[in-house]
Amino acid sequence: MLEHFNQLESILHNQPLGLITDIDGTIAPISSDLLHTVIPPENLRALAVLSQKLALVAVVSGRGAAEVQRMINIPNVKYVGHYGLEWSENGHFTLHPAAVRYLPAVRGLVADIEILRHRDDIVFQDKGATLSLHFHRSREPEATEQLILETLHRSPHIAGLRVLVEKTGFGIVPPVDYNKGDAIAALIKEHRLRSAIFLGDDTGDVPGFRAIRASRLNPDFAGLSLLVTGKDTPPEIIQEVDYTLNGVSETTTLLQWLPDHI
């Protein structure tokens, strides 16, 4: 992407402009301990600057919205969690009404697979309304992946939930017909954006990439989808985006470049 900054610059003056981004693998390196992920301070500083210059800076993550807010902690940034199902508004967090009815199933599943929480080769993220299980630090990832799947499907509660296959893990979410793409489309409409940039890194971001593409059917809207690649990037995702960034370091370069070119 770095060699295409001149093409990116062509949409920056199509105001109002928004920047929407994922966290893990996008503005923060994938950590062996996802419970203590650290966003590089230079990226936080760049987001803070951009939040003063753009019509919208939003973070749309698989993490809960409260956790996203804690990690970013920048005024004027919009926080969306649980793959689009939870929104922040004036310090309050609202879960999509259709997802609320599935909370007992999520809590039941968490109890049923508690044995996985204590394994060193699995990162167990209990996010309240959703759950993530990652095996990227396993020395035998295929065996660990199979163990997770077998344990999940022994629980009767999994039948009422949806399993998202990610690069090196699984997201378990309510089977609600709403995702990151729907959230991004709503943000574009709410803020009356005429251009937007979306950054993601995983299969859960594909609906967001497609939302940017769909928004471009409006001739007055300009948008770009950017995939931040890494060693585990599924190759089929690349065809969903306009450009790629080679790792979080290139995300940093982009975020630091943007304020001087708006």
Domain 15-93+178-261 in this protein, CATH class? alpha beta
What whole-number percentage of the chain has pLDDT above 70?
97
Average pLDDT of span 82-101:
92
Tokens of 214: 């769909």
What are the two backbone dihedrals, phi and then psi, of residue 78, each rounded to the nearest 5 degrees?
-90, 135
Residue range(s) of every CATH 3.40.50.1000 domain in the chain: 15-93+178-261
Which residues are within 8 A (CB) of 80 and not within 5 positions of it... i.e. 6 or more apart?
Answer: 58, 59, 60, 61, 65, 68, 86, 87, 88, 180, 183, 187
User: How many CB atoms lie under 10 A from the CB of residue 197?
Assistant: 22
Amino acid at the residue 258: L
Q: What is the pLDDT of residue 34?
A: 73
Task: Write out pLDDT tens, residues 125-170.
Answer: 999 999 999 999 999 999 999 999 999 999 999 999 999 999 899 9
Task: Write out pLDDT tens, residues 97-126.
Answer: 999 999 999 999 999 999 999 999 999 999
Tokens of 75: 């005024």
Q: Is 190 helix (H, G, I), strand (E, B) or coil?
A: helix
Which residues are within 8 A (CB) of 171 and not within 5 positions of it... i.e. 6 or more apart?
Answer: 62, 83, 130, 131, 132, 163, 164, 204
Q: What is the pLDDT of residue 36?
A: 81
- Does the 98-173 domain belong in CATH 3.30.70? yes
Q: pTM (2 decimals)? A: 0.92
Residue range(s) of every CATH 3.30.70 domain in the chain: 98-173
The answer to whether residues 255 and 8 touch, using CB atoms and an 8 Å cutoff, is no
